Amino acid sequence: FTLTQPHSVSESPGKTVTISCTRSSGSIASTYVQWYQQRPGYSPKIVIFEDDQRPSGVPDRFSGSIDTSSNSASLTISGLRTEDEADYYCQSYDSTNPYVFGGGTKVTVL
Amino acid sequence: EVQLVESGGGLVQRGGSLTLSCSASGFNFDIFPMNWVRQTPGKGPEWVASISHSGSDTHYEDSLKGRFTISRDNARSSVYLQMNNLREEDTSVYFCVRSIVATAAVYFDHWGQGALVTVS
């Protein structure tokens, strides 16, 4: 299966952005979705695991959810800050593919 | 502090071999599965291989089986990736990554800074 993300989203500081991640086959609810943030020049960093769980140290401005009707997962960043400008990747798995990543979404803070 | 430091990257000719090393510190290395993930600039990460905490189990991305070998030395807190018969499409930044089991999912919780491998 593949995970499809929008190429880019942009919004002003203080606003809210939502990034989608659509699964091509199989139910989005059948396996958990993770989200990684990659700032320019840095390695990826986990921000959401198991659909909606935040690792310690990740601000509660970051939230995750899934929508079975659209077979997609979403990452929402509220109260957008300049430091949130980064590429964001969703990741999931199935019985034959242990780690499948989306193509990434570039978040630009205007 | 968890640290993962890759080494061994560089320029290699098509058909050649290269071995990446990753030195880990700041945690009990021998209880965590380890992984290699690669990323071509402008693209999403691509999982390459995983190895269990003991080294007894290994898994590979299907297209890389037979060319890449992951191994580990718990006494040295190190994990390795041997890459043979390299192709131009293997050109990428290779990350050493620790994985952790949450309630049900396994996810990557710490990444190294990456090692660039260029095949020409």
pLDDT digits (tens, 9 = 90+) for A27-82: 999 999 999 999 999 999 999 999 999 999 999 999 999 999 999 999 999 999 99
Q: How far does the CA of residue A24 sit from the closest CA of chain B (Å)?
A: 17
The mean pLDDT of B60-84, rounded to a whole number, is: 96
Contact A45 B105 (CB under 8 A): no
Contact B109 A55 (CB under 8 A): yes
Indicate if the pLDDT at residue B106 is higher than 90: no
pLDDT of residue A88: 98
Indicate if the pLDDT at residue B104 is higher than 90: no
Confidence of residue A98 (pLDDT cuts 50, 70, 90): confident
Indicate if the pLDDT at residue A96 is higher than 90: no
CB pairs under 8 A between A and B: 56
Q: How far does the CA of residue B99 sit from the closest CA of chain A (Å)?
A: 11
d(CA B67, CA B86): 8
Contact B107 A91 (CB under 8 A): yes
pLDDT of residue B90: 97
Kindly write down the DSSP assignment for every residue of chain B, as one continuous string.
--EEEEE--EEE-TT--EEEEEEEESS-GGGS-EEEEEE-TTS--EEEEEE-SSSS-EEE-GGGBTTEEEEEEGGGTEEEEEE-S--GGG-EEEEEEEEEE-SS-EEEEEE---EEEEE-
The mean pLDDT of A11-33, rounded to a whole number, is: 96
Percent of chain B with pLDDT over 70: 100
Q: What is the mean pLDDT of chain B?
A: 95
Indicate if the pLDDT at residue B58 is higher than 90: yes
Indicate if the pLDDT at residue B101 is higher than 90: no
Contact A104 B44 (CB under 8 A): yes
Chain A residues within 8 A (CB-CB) of chain B?
A: 31-32, 34, 36, 43-46, 49-50, 53, 55, 89, 91, 93, 98-104
d(CA A63, CA A36): 12
Mutation site for B-interface testing, chosen from A7, A37, A43, A100 by largest number of B Cβ within 10 Å: A43
Q: How far does the CA of residue B120 sit from the closest CA of chain A (Å)?
A: 24
Rounded alpha-carbon distances, angstroms, from residue A27 to A71, A89, B39? 6, 19, 26
Structure tokens at B30: 């021998």
Structure tokens at B92: 């990428």
The per-residue pLDDT for range B7-55, each reduced to its tens digit, is 999 999 999 999 999 999 999 999 999 999 999 988 999 999 999 999 9
Indicate if the pLDDT at residue B73 is higher than 90: yes
Q: Which residue in the set A34, A44, A45 is minimally distant from B105, CB to CB?
A: A34
Contact B102 A44 (CB under 8 A): no
Structure tokens at A24: 């091509």
Contact B44 A49 (CB under 8 A): no
